[in-house]
Structure 1
Amino acid sequence: MEGNITVLKEKNIATVSFYHPASNSFPSSQLQLLTDTIYNLGKDNGITAIVLKSEGNGAFCAGASFDELLEVTNLEEGNRFFSGFANVINAMRKCPKLIIGRIQGKAVGGGVGIIAACDYTFATESSSVKLSEIAIGIGPFVIEPAVSKKIGKAAMAEMTLFPTKWKDAQWAKDKGLLNEVYPSVEEMDNSLNNYINQLASYNPEALYEMKKVIWEGTENWDNLLYERAAISGRLVLSDFTKNALNQFKKS
């Protein structure tokens, strides 16, 4: 059941793909690998822009691995697991290369956080989003700063406080989570390919300076996201969350 991360470099563009058989969900080992991959590409002077995508025609990302969440037995393990998403988001925001998201399907929880941490996004009309964490006794605490930065606190709260409701791609576009939405994967990929090639032709120094502007005011995330991870790490140990996770697995 292990997933993988792959990198394809073409000219000055790197495409990072992640895959997991459980709807592209993330175990902690894969979160760390994605963090390391983004960090290393940030240091690669031959790369100007990064495309982040998942494999397959189904979900873009189902968030945290429920199997691994059920295995958490103490605060240290809980903190470590949720810090994985903090690591990814911090790596994405601090990466000196612009990161363009390719979203071909639904995203839940941490998957929404990854979308929010992209600098620009291309998606299909089937790319609905949902923050389901409250329903299992935790909350989108780690990813909240990234999501709220894109769509605002009110829209983030709307998603969080109705954890069973999907928001469609048009809603996500109207709120600013998705930038471009297309009827089909083919149309999305055609537009994305044209865009990324144009973007990668621009002055890398100008793009880097623009990236810094985009993420101004997030310097406290180096501490904030890990403080939030501690909240989730504590809540995941509750009987409520353990029972809810088991019910989700059975359904």
Structure 2
Amino acid sequence: MMRLSIITICYNNSEGLERTIRSIESQTCKDFEYIVVDGASQDQSVEVIHAHESCISKWISEPDTGIYNAMNKGVKMASGEYCLFINSGDELYKPTTVEEIYRQSFDEDFVQGVIYRFNKKDIFLFPPQEISLAFYIYGNNNYHQASLIKRKMLLERPYDEKYRIASDLKFNVESLIIHNCSYGTLDVVISKYEIGGISETPHRIESPEIYKELFPQRILNDYKRMKFCFRFPIKYIFPFLEKVGNLSILKKIESNKRSKMTYHSKE
């Protein structure tokens, strides 16, 4: 079985699609499958596909109902062990990226590498070494542009197409938290993407409904409390908490901190 299927979805973004395909085409290692799913674009996207058809394993251009419908189509067309979504406008980081991925040893269900984000502020985003519910509640998510996901998982639990922005969040939480699938990281910069577009739309627009669907009420209650604590530094809510509970232990900790600060200041 082929190790990797790279999938690109596109809709009316011929310029971004051109950049994406060129980054795939330039790979020094050609041992992967490349699939393009176009949503019946009205611009020059199909012409771009035809121009680079020699490096594309499979492609379609037909109407879809949104990005997750297109991503699910790509998964069904794929035959690799892992799927990697490099959508129009995204690029593999450099020509040796696939080669560097294959040098790594991994067999986890979900593997995440490093991503390079550029535009207003250039930054490398590293994958978390461990995944917990708090990671998502804090507002984080896994970047699909740097995530290798076993195709069998994506077939068993396709992206929920009723969500238009955060279905990948639902898939990630359901897979990594609820079903406890195996997770690993790669010391490889897999892709780069420019700030803007659907990737920058806050998942919090749909995340409350997703968590409501996935978790019982007791966990949802904790989710609301944790969101509050994460959003506001704890020192600002101490005065409020003093009115509703016993903070003797916390006061003792703060007192110890102050005494240590006083001691060092005398030195």
User: For this structure pair, what is the TM-score category when the shorter chain's length is used for normalisation?
Assistant: under 0.3
TM-score w.r.t. the length of structure 2 is 0.22
TM-score w.r.t. the length of structure 1 is 0.23
Bigger helix share? 1
Larger Rg: 2
